[in-house]
Amino acid sequence: MGKRKAAKKPPGKKRNEPLATAFSCLFCNHEKSVTVKLDKKAGVGQLSCKVCDQKFQCGVNYLSAAVDVYSEWVDACDAVAKEGGAGDDLAPARQMGSGRGIDRDRERESDNDIIDDDDDDGAGGYGGDGIVADDEY
């Protein structure tokens, strides 16, 4: 006679690590210098850099997190940089390409080398008469 096998205990719950609330600044490029504070009752998210004193404020809802405020700041900086065109003082880290590792000038130059052979005449390469009732029953 053998021993009874012990029942296996269920595995413990996986703990989700909390989302970051400190980020790198787009203007001064210091790591973890940007802090985000959320006031969900007032519906306001505030972002500020400790080094260069850059500030940003946006609306939040009950689902928003610090990452959402930071990403909205990044989008707003990109929009201002595109709108300003040659604004040298606007988001220098993003203009130089060090933000995401993409050199925007090279990307634009490579887009100019693409040959577009598509004829946009609406026919799509088909020279027929369209839909014709050729099935006779």
**Of the listed ranges 3-7, 53-57, 104-108, 127-131, the one predicted with least confidence:** 104-108
Q: What is the pLDDT of residue 19?
A: 81
Region 16-23: mean pLDDT is 85
What is the C-alpha separation between 36 and 20, in angstroms, rounded?
9
CATH code: domain 22-100 is 2.20.25.190
Region 72-83: mean pLDDT is 92
Domain extents for the chain?
A: 22-100
pLDDT tens digits, one per residue of 21-48: 789 999 999 999 999 999 999 999 999 9
Long-range contacts of 61-65 (CB under 8 A, 24+ apart): 64/38, 64/40, 65/19, 65/38
**Higher local confidence (pLDDT), 113 or 58:** 58
Q: Is 77 exposed, middle or buried (0-12, 13-18, 19+ CB in 10 A)?
A: buried
From edge to edge, which strands make up the β-sheet containing 55-59? 22-23, 34-39, 44-49, 55-59
Given a cut of 90, whether residue 63 has pLDDT beyond it is yes
Q: What is the pLDDT of residue 112?
A: 57
Q: What is the pLDDT of residue 130?
A: 59
pLDDT tens digits, one per residue of 78-132: 999 998 865 445 444 444 344 444 444 555 555 555 555 555 555 555 555 656 6
What is the C-alpha separation between 68 and 82, in angstroms, rounded?
21
